[in-house]
Chain A
């Protein structure tokens, strides 16, 4: 075997190189040299985005078809790396405090190993590689959720996350074992020829989708989400809600359309129920939440339901609109979490509730303006990016014939507008004697918030972004 072939998986190799560099720097650097640690990591992540984008033209297949990288996968990898860069920028303030200062390197290393796992998960064309990638993406994430060692909430969220993720992967593996038993292969390409929709294979498909539904937190399997999101450190919650969810949704699309193509009717029916349940139930629960992170958890469950509209269509336009939706979702959600993180740090690390936002506009007009734009984008109000991403997703589901589903989703968009506007109302209208005082952001989070602002405003207006994603599919 020619070992130079390994360089065909350039994004993974270069991310591993970044990983090793950070690991060595963490070992050898002492004293004032550590000050450049954060900026060095951010620059390396930028370089990694460039590497991923450079792979966008061309396809690579390795290990007899186990690993396959095409242009849309490379673009998706670049997007997830961009999201992780935003999370790293936002984590600066949190990593500065006394408990976690010496653990800065650990945080970066765990974050990057989950990212490697997601890369492999998205490029996998074999169930073994897929399983290893998925576990590599979820195990270090459990360590990240339990990262604040001296806070009981963090440990509690960590144990809830790891136990439900183990349960989910066991259920999923049980499904895969029956697929293997009935088809005799684990390669996606060979398996699809032997799938005939027998009872055992439908059972396997249901188990598999349930296991992946846990990772995406679709409704019957969403119970861990609110607790883990609330207890985890805010930057980790941000990472959990967009990056790991985006990778899982992308993989689900690939496996459902590639492996389970002969059973399209069956999985569409299953996803139909899960989508309606996720959007509706999460919306109704989100109205009641007062804690901001819990509120964002339910909002992210309902957003996952919206993304499922693209998966259920299973067409090429569904793929385009899904990738576009995830891109918009990354910038909008990370803007909200970036602001929550900033406010928490200036409020003595108290968990934020909606009442803390009262009168925020008086003291922090810029932050509340960005928060408003991001929430409008999440709700899907016209001039912002969120409107266009929702529009394309509805279009792709409508073209596939799911017009009742689109109608239900539209009604739910109106409901979601209510609870997103509750926060906006708290910031602008509700009076408050002692609002959170004026905040001066550190330069890192300022850069990340400005990037999010540009994304929220421009991603919708610049129509060439959607068409260029469409060309990659």
Chain B
């Protein structure tokens, strides 16, 4: 039995908007990072599904997915390094400590 493409697309959309929702409601820097990761993963699913179901003659979508995973890993590494730095300076990664600017 072949799973229809719509199932995957709905999964990707739900995942993406869970990420958006988390990005706006979570109050912890690591959770914000996880939310953006969810959004990037939803995009990767989208690319893979479109390639496999709609345009199977080339592999462009799969390549995009692979590069997307690699770049998302690099982004996470940089973000975690900065979060560690924030923790060293403020002794907390809660977002309520991120309001020192503008004063």
Q: Are B68 and A155 in contact (CB under 8 A)?
A: no
A 147-203 contacts with B by CB, 8 A: 149-153, 155-160, 162-163, 166-167, 169-171, 173-174, 176-178, 180-181, 184-186
A 112-142 contacts with B by CB, 8 A: 127-128, 131-132, 135, 139, 142
Q: Are A149 and B85 in contact (CB under 8 A)?
A: yes
| Number of A interface residues in the complex (CB < 8 A) | 43
Say yes or no for B54: interface residue by CB 8 A criterion. Answer: yes
Nearest A residue to B9, CB-CB: A181
Distance A417 CA – B20 CA, assembled complex (angstroms): 39
Q: Are A131 and B19 in contact (CB under 8 A)?
A: no
Nearest B residue to A229, CB-CB: B101
Q: Are B100 and A156 in contact (CB under 8 A)?
A: yes
Q: Are A174 and B32 in contact (CB under 8 A)?
A: no
Q: Are A158 and B102 in contact (CB under 8 A)?
A: no
Which residues from chain A contact B90 at a C-beta distance below 8 Å? 152, 155-156
Contacts A142-B78, A143-B78, A166-B36; A128 near B89 (Cβ below 8 A): no
Contacts A155-B89, A160-B98, A170-B19; A180 near B47 (Cβ below 8 A): yes
Contacts A180-B47, A181-B46; A171 near B39 (Cβ below 8 A): yes
Contact of A139 among B63, B67, B75 (CB under 8 A): B75
Q: Are B82 and A142 in contact (CB under 8 A)?
A: yes
B 18-35 contacts with A by CB, 8 A: 19, 23, 29, 32-33
Say yes or no for A230: interface residue by CB 8 A criterion. Answer: yes
Measured CB to CB, the closest approach of chain A to B35, in angstroms, equals 8
| Number of B interface residues in the complex (CB < 8 A) | 40
Q: Are B40 and A170 in contact (CB under 8 A)?
A: yes
Measured CB to CB, the closest approach of chain B to A177, in angstroms, equals 4
B 40-57 contacts with A by CB, 8 A: 40, 42-43, 46-47, 50-51, 54-55
Q: Are B54 and A177 in contact (CB under 8 A)?
A: no
Which residues from chain A contact B101 at a C-beta distance below 8 Å? 153, 156-157, 226-227, 230-231
Distance A256 CA – B60 CA, assembled complex (angstroms): 22
Q: Are A180 and B79 in contact (CB under 8 A)?
A: no
Distance A166 CA – B43 CA, assembled complex (angstroms): 13
Measured CB to CB, the closest approach of chain A to B5, in angstroms, equals 9
Q: Are B102 and A227 in contact (CB under 8 A)?
A: yes
Q: Are A132 and B85 in contact (CB under 8 A)?
A: no
B 68-88 contacts with A by CB, 8 A: 68, 71, 74-75, 78-79, 81-83, 85-86
Q: Are B75 and A162 in contact (CB under 8 A)?
A: yes
Contacts A128-B64, A156-B86, A163-B32; A139 near B78 (Cβ below 8 A): yes
Measured CB to CB, the closest approach of chain A to B30, in angstroms, equals 11
Which residues from chain A contact B89 at a C-beta distance below 8 Å? 150-152, 155
Q: Which of A160, A166, A226, A291 has the most CB of B within 10 A?
A: A166
Say yes or no for A294: interface residue by CB 8 A criterion. Answer: yes
Distance A186 CA – B98 CA, assembled complex (angstroms): 39
Say yes or no for A326: interface residue by CB 8 A criterion. Answer: no
Q: Are B46 and A177 in contact (CB under 8 A)?
A: yes
Measured CB to CB, the closest approach of chain A to B58, in angstroms, equals 8
Contacts A146-B82, A155-B85; A132 near B71 (Cβ below 8 A): yes
Distance A181 CA – B60 CA, assembled complex (angstroms): 11
Q: Are B98 and A159 in contact (CB under 8 A)?
A: yes
Nearest A residue to B19, CB-CB: A170
Query: Which A positions have Cβ atoms within 8 angstroms of B?
Result: 127-128, 131-132, 135, 139, 142-143, 146, 149-153, 155-160, 162-163, 166-167, 169-171, 173-174, 176-178, 180-181, 184-186, 226-227, 230-231, 291, 294
Would you mind naming 29 contact pairs between A and B with Cβ atoms under 8 Å apart?
A127-B64, A135-B74, A139-B74, A142-B79, A152-B90, A152-B100, A153-B100, A156-B90, A159-B79, A159-B83, A159-B98, A160-B98, A162-B78, A163-B32, A163-B33, A163-B79, A166-B36, A167-B39, A170-B19, A170-B42, A170-B43, A171-B39, A173-B43, A174-B39, A174-B46, A177-B43, A178-B46, A180-B60, A180-B61
Those 3 A-B pairs whose CB atoms lie nearest each other, nearest first: A170-B39, A177-B46, A184-B55
